[in-house]
Amino acid sequence: MNTTGVTGPSRAAEASRVQNEHDGGFRKAAVLGAGSWGTTFAKVLVDAAWDEERRRQQASAEDSPEAADALHGTARGVVLWGRNADDMTRTARTRVNQKYVPGLHLPDPLEITADLAEALDGADLVVLALPAQTLRGQLPAIAEHLNPDAALVSLAKGLEQGTGLRMTEVVAKVLAEHRPEADGGHDPAGWFARTCVLSGPNLAMEIADEQPTASVVAARDPELAAAVARACAAPYFRPYTNTDVVGTEIAGLTKNVIAVIVGICEGRHYGDNSKASIITRGLAESTRLAMALGGKPETMSGLAGIGDLVATCSSPLSRNHTAGRLFGQGKTLDEIHREMTQTAEGLKSAPAVLALARAHGVDMPITQAVVAILEGRITVENLAPLLLGRQLKSEATPS
């Protein structure tokens, strides 16, 4: 079931209820998934709470009660959950996630656990930092302990294989199946109304180093997006908001596929002309798909679109860029999987993205090239003719 078209009073009422509940700020945030981005985002939430409390105390000291009251929910607890008990025990003891973010010292107020029930107990903000292709399998256990009034944030950037569903659609559908009492039945509308997406140029290692970064929180309800943005607004992390969940998710997942091709170009020692051409035309085909699904063009020209695309395609910290570079150097898919410790989501999502595009009559030649390479139908040596050997046409042609 595609939840993007959910309309009607039930969704509006649910969004309004969640908005009102969190106008005063979230009391506890649970980050589920202790990879590099989940661990880093948990730190962002703690630093945001600290900064909010500091500003509240400053406003109170300056006898500005109105300014102090305008600052929402301080004293917010944050907990990081991971499945591996040994890893989480070690991380709690050393305050360092050596496997994924070795240079990051985690703040003392951050709780760390491998107990899912403990992590979700009392959590009214739940952040899903789980890989796109494993999210569905972990949601039933999450649903068992989930506060039915919680707001959710998806950090995953991918399209589910087999179903072609975006992550917010997977979340809403599975939670409605396992927690129907939370929204009055098996209709995913209630869960979809309170599920946000955080996207943008989110290279975890740079954010862990507190380098200035801007991102986007997208939710159908602008007040819910604003509440989540307030909760993660750290001195070095600036979240903007929008209401284009579809466009934000499509931008986040297609840029991974484009980054694979840019990485191949780098592995083949192609220059900046080649990479700039791929990035620009990649944005064009991503925008076509987003708009075909109801996304907005301004999203694609903003942080979630061009911002994330440029970062992912140009940075050696990008897993998808790294996977492409290894392809370009002649590595096989199996060799790449063995060499990389984290998932390059573009490799898994590319076939699903292409299938979705074809179902909606959208031409995506760069995505098609990635799939052809993954399936072994072409080699990286034949990439240039595939991308350039197309009919000449106006750049403004919509397909």
Catalytic residue among 43, 173, 255, 275: 255
Beta bridge partners of 36: none
* Residue 225 neighbours by CB under 8 Å, 6+ apart: 196, 217, 218, 219, 241, 242, 243
DSSP assignment of 237-286: EEEEEES-HHHHHHHHHHHHHHHHHHHHHHHTT--HHHHHHHHHHHHHHH
Which tokens is 161 given? 């294989």
Which tokens is 294 given? 């109801």
Which tokens is 293 given? 């699904």
Q: What is the CA radius of gyration of the chain?
A: 21
**Locus of tokens 């991971």:** 82
CA distance 347 to 333: 9
CA distance 48 to 42: 10
CA distance 201 to 252: 9
Would residue 348 show up in a list of annotated catalytic residues for this protein? no
CA distances from 28 to 42, 101, 165, 253, 334 (A): 12, 23, 29, 29, 41
What residues are labeled active site? 255
